[in-house]
């Protein structure tokens, strides 16, 4: 029997210790069988996050704190592995929410985004895009329980595509590391052949450091050495703030999409600017290049924010 627990967090701001909602959904043989969900007391809300999921300070005013929930959550998880879509984010939120609370037995976890990159021919690996491609109903509420259910169904679909019974068999077949959550933090679930190695040239590194200062620079494997293009309007920060964040993480921001582009980040697009086109010109160019064999990934603003990491946080 293939038993796993899908997990999802919603946060009140960009910090990994600002969880305001959590959901755990147990899946057995591809079907959700039981769930645990709760709002979490949190005070430090940003309007972007409220607009995203609709959770407000008033809604969580009487909610339990995370340390009051963890014992029940741990019992619910039991010996089952965890899965999440973009697990690096959810595992980081979980670990930072614990704040010293004992984890207990090490927990295996898997990322449906990492697995999907190996078996699906897509540019956009956000949960809405993957769910749509796999014909899985996804209401896009940005609430923890509905996102957990969608991620759990995606995991089952990926198991069927891989023609295996368990997640451990699937990642072994695809040469993906099993993520491990322990007392020292999450170890990360990634493809073994894509271990982090910065491709920043000495000149690029010196240019970035001169712009942002050596004290602000760190190399995040999601961005380091990658050429990043923005398109559309970001609602959580200005374009300059986003470009600075990418440079701090070791990335290189460029104005147009080319064969050297690695990542396209898209925000809200004014329909009048699109002029009836389904995508912006930059996203259309990225799709054309992918069709010609170039490895370009496209992420939305929410994914971009989840990819950004505090350099002092556990990796």
> How do residues 139-153 score in pLDDT, each as one tens digit?
988 999 999 999 999
Least confident of 29-38, 41-50, 179-188, 201-210: 201-210
Confidence of residue 193 (pLDDT cuts 50, 70, 90): low
DSSP letter string over 196-235?
------HHHHHHHHHHH-GGG----TTTTT-EEEEESB-S
- The domain defined by 202-307 carries CATH number 3.40.50.2300: no
Mean pLDDT value across the chain: 90
The whole-number pLDDT of residue 167 equals: 96
Domain ranges of the chain: 3-192, 202-307
Q: What is the mean pLDDT of residues 4-26?
A: 97
Q: What is the mean pLDDT of residues 228-251?
A: 93
What whole-number distance in Å separates Cα of residue 39 and Cα of residue 45?
14
pLDDT computed for residue 313 by the predictor:
40
pLDDT at res. 15 = 92
- Cα 299 to the center of its chain, rounded Å: 10
CA–CA distance, 154 with 116 (Å, rounded to integer): 9
Please tell us whether the domain made up of 3-192 is placed in CATH 3.40.50.720.
no
Cα torsion 234, 236, 240, 245: sign: negative
Task: Kindly state the percentage of the chain with pLDDT values over 70.
Answer: 94
Q: What is the DSSP string of 2-62?
A: -EEEEEEEEESSSSTT-EEEEEEEEEETTEEEEEEEEE-------HHHHHHH---HHHHTT
**Gyration radius of the chain over CA positions:** 19
pLDDT at 312: 40
Q: What is the pLDDT of residues 198-237, one digit of tens each?
A: 667 788 888 888 888 888 888 888 898 899 999 999 999 9
Whether the pLDDT of residue 188 is over 90: the answer is no
Q: How far apart, in Å, are the Cα atoms of 178 and each of 48, 96, 168, 169?
A: 33, 20, 7, 10
């Amino acid at each position: 029997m293939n038993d796993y627990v899908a997990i999802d967090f919603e946060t009140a701001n960009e910090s990994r210790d600002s969880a305001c909602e959590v959901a755990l959904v147990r899946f057995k043989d591809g079907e959700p069988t039981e769930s645990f969900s709760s709002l979490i007391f949190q005070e430090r809300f940003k309007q972007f996050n409220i607009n995203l999921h609709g959770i407000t300070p008033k809604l969580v005013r009487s909610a339990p704190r995370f340390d009051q929930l963890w014992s029940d959550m741990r019992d619910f998880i039991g010996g089952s592995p965890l899965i999440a879509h973009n697990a690096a984010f959810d595992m980081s939120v979980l670990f930072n929410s614990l704040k010293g609370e004992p984890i207990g037995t090490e927990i295996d976890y898997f990322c449906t985004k990492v697995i999907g990159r190996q078996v699906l021919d897509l540019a956009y690996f956000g949960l809405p895009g993957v769910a749509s491609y796999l014909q899985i109903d996804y209401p896009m509420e940005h609430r923890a329980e509905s996102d957990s259910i969608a991620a759990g169904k995606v995991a089952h679909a990926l198991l069927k595509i891989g023609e295996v019974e368990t997640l451990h068999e699937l990642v072994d077949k695809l040469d993906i590391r099993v993520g491990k959550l322990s007392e020292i933090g999450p170890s990360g679930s990634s493809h073994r052949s894509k271990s982090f190695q910065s491709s920043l040239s000495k000149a690029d590194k010196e240019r970035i450091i001169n712009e942002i200062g050596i004290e602000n620079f760190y190399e995040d494997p999601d961005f380091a050495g990658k050429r990043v293009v923005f398109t559309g309007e970001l609602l959580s920060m200005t374009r300059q703030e986003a470009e600075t964040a990418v440079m701090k993480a070791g990335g290189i921001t460029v104005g147009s999409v080319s064969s050297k582009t690695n990542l396209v980040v898209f925000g809200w697009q004014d329909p009048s600017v699109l002029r009836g086109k389904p995508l912006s010109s930059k996203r259309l160019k990225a799709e054309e290049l992918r069709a010609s064999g170039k490895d370009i990934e496209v992420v939305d603003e929410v994914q971009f924010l989840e990819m950004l990491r505090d350099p002092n946080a556990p990796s």
